[in-house]
Chains A and B, each alone.
Chain A
Amino acid sequence: GENVEQHPSTLSVQEGDSAVIKCTYSDSASNYFPWYKQELGKGPQLIIDIRSNVGEKKDQRIAVTLNKTAKHFSLHITETQPEDSAVYFCAAPPNAGGTSYGKLTFGQGTILTVHP
């Protein structure tokens, strides 16, 4: 099955700085990589995703890069704001072929704290 490793487990930055979170995955056939933000008491919220046919995707202050050869992908948040403080999860699906859609394997999470 898929194994997803996420680093760092905690990240503390000053407001306005950039934050980078990295994930590695084990299944070379995986082709879809979402990132989720989870605030206290709430469910994970999809913030950006990338498919294996592109190397980078950007949405305002958030970007994701993918290196399929090395089997890792990263979340980049620029100009961080206090409201970016949350737990961030990466995920990847095993590509069992045919019917195994949606079985996301999540990383362990990164607690991001943005200090004003």
Chain B
Amino acid sequence: DTGVSQNPRHKITKRGQNVTFRCDPISEHNRLYWYRQTLGQGPEFLTYFQNEAQLEKSRLLSDRFSAERPKGSFSTLEIQRTEQGDSAMYLCASSLGLQGEKPQHFGDGTRLSIL
């Protein structure tokens, strides 16, 4: 049984570059979430998919951010024209369910550092 897998674990890039992260949820989990966590803070919700449909986006998700889950399995989060303030840990979580709140299981995140 594998948990949520995120790649890469670390990404260092220069300001202005584009970056893409990948998340592979737990097999058969239909819900997938992206969060952002900065040092000393709790995770902050970014966006949420149920199967391939993106159902909610936070106001934190500016137009430089885009997330996809094309086949309802893995998901990608792309940040265009990165800025210093984008430096953070990007966490992915998944859960199984159609109605109601279900336990979310997190991956170990991708740490993004903007030079």
Contacts and interface: CB of A to CB of B under 8 A. Distances in A.
> A and B, one complex?
yes
Interface of A: 6, 31-32, 34, 36, 41-46, 49, 51, 89, 91, 93, 99-109
A99 B106 contact: no
Interface residues of B, number: 31
B42 A102 contact: no
Contacts of B11: none
A106 B42 contact: yes
B45 A104 contact: yes
Contacts of A41: 108
A31 B44 contact: no
Contact of B42 (A32, A51, A99, A107): A107
Q: Chain A at the B interface: mostly helix, strand, loop or mixed?
A: loop
B45 A105 contact: yes
Contacts of A109: 40-42
Contact of A31 (B56, B101, B108, B109): B101
Interface in B88-112: 91, 93, 95, 97, 99-109
Given A102-B95, A103-B45, A43 B104 contact: no
A32 B103 CA distance: 9
B108 A99 contact: no
Interface string B1-22: 0001010000000000000000
B105 A46 contact: yes
Lowest 9 A-B CB distances belong to which pairs?
A106-B42, A32-B101, A43-B106, A43-B108, A44-B106, A102-B48, A89-B42, A103-B45, A42-B108
Contacts of A45: 106
B33 interface: yes
Contact of B91 (A44, A100, A102): A44
B43 interface: yes
A50 to B, nearest CB: 11
A49 B103 contact: yes
A104 B41 CA distance: 14
B103 A34 contact: yes
A100 B33 CA distance: 12
Nearest to A111: B40
